[in-house]
Amino acid sequence: MSIQVKTKDSVYEVYLGENILQSFCSRETDKLSKYDQLVIITDEHVWSLHEEYVRRNFTLPFKLYIVPNGESCKTFESYYQVQSFLLDENCSRNSALLALGGGAVGDLTGFVAATFMRGIPFYQIPTTILAHDSAVGGKTAINHPNGKNMIGAFYQPTEVIYDFHFLKTLPEGEIRSGLAEVIKHSLISDTKWMDEFLNLPNLLAIENKQLLHWIEKGIRVKAHIVELDEKEQSYRKFLNFGHTYGHAIEASVGYGQVTHGEAVMIGMIPALMLSELHGNVEKGYARRVYDLANRLGYNFTHVLHCSFESLSMFMQKDKKSMNGELHFALLQEIGHPFMQKVSVEEIKSCDNQLRQWVK
């Protein structure tokens, strides 16, 4: 199965299914063989888990570069090292990169691809649930000590090969992290889909088939929004639902101390409270989603470890805040997002309410 993504300058397919790496390789042998070099960029952990599978199924010759796990690869140092590796290996404008990993590897590799020799093709081979989001849409970036994803480019992949095989080794924390973005896609796009989540008793009750179906739906939502607004001038801002407060949690707690998705799940609760206030979301909905998140094991105590002052400071610094004003993606109703200017006092009151629930 595949989902097409059309942007102003490119059209590409997101292939998804179980064990599709090999079919990708055989289907595209002609195209892939035209590149003078193929370089797989992956992280230590993914490679230790999946080297055998990749070597067995990716049947073309490739070079390999292994970066540190997770967020620690989105640094200037890793960026520089990968670029140096490509130069040392005599890669050219006719080489292609393959990002094998979660969102961190994808973001780094995409940014390397966007800038090596002014841009070479790259393929996304996502290995996390979260990367159903990050691998589609062409946002690539590394972090700066002053902020996450501050240095980057919009640069679309040539293709995305989402092989569900990789998801089997994900630990619970990463399942939770990815599921948060799936839930976000549900909240901003569909009036009924969210009911499927609200009926879940716990994380273990999620069947594999159902999860894969949700991931596919999530990719469709992301692809559709990217098609409408690739460069985040309008609709794409809706994808930031839960992220204004969520990013502030990540920054305050410390990157790597909380997964991106867990922070987004936390951030969606104040966003839902504000949607009750500014939109027509029924009263009590934020509490229902909070209870669901607790049943699924999201850890809200992170909120208690950061002061509102610190969160507020990071929210103002967010690159999406404009002239010091906070613009939140909110819901008019479930499935219908809109942008709203929100005062610090209003956020403080939601933050306060959330702290009461968590205590």
- Candidate residues 21, 74, 247, 296; the one interacting with ligand NAD per rule CB under 6 A: 74
Site string for ligand NAD, 302-331 (x = CB under 6 A): ------------------------------
CB atoms within 10 A of CB 3: 18
Amino acid at residue number 42: T
72 binds ligand NAD (CB under 6 A): no
Contact indicator for 41, 65 with CB cutoff of 8 Å: yes
Q: 2 pairs with which residues across the strands?
A: 15
104 binds ligand NAD (CB under 6 A): yes
Site string for ligand NAD, 177-196 (x = CB under 6 A): x-------------------
CB atoms within 10 A of CB 201: 10
- Candidate residues 57, 78, 95, 128; the one interacting with ligand NAD per rule CB under 6 A: 128
Sequential DSSP letters for 6-57: E-SS-EEEEEEETT-HHHHHHHTHHHHHHSS-EEEEEEHHHHHHHHHHHHHH
The response to whether 63 counts as a known ligand-binding position is: no
| Min CB(130)–ligand NAD separation in Å | 4
**Given the complex with ligand NAD, which of 107 and 351 has the nearer CB atom?**
107
Q: Pairing between strand 11-17 and 38-43?
A: unpaired
The response to whether 261 counts as a known ligand-binding position is: no
Following CA atoms 235, 190, 155, 85 in sequence, which dihedral angle do they give, to the nearest 10 degrees?
A: 140
- Candidate residues 169, 299, 349, 353; the one interacting with ligand NAD per rule CB under 6 A: 169
Q: Pairing between strand 147-154 and 63-67?
A: unpaired
Question: What is the binding site for ligand NAD (CB under 6 A)?
Answer: 43, 45-46, 49, 69-71, 74, 101-105, 107, 127-128, 130-131, 133-134, 137, 139, 149, 166-167, 169-170, 174, 177, 260
* Binding-site annotation, residues: 103-107, 127-128, 139, 148, 166-169, 181, 243, 260
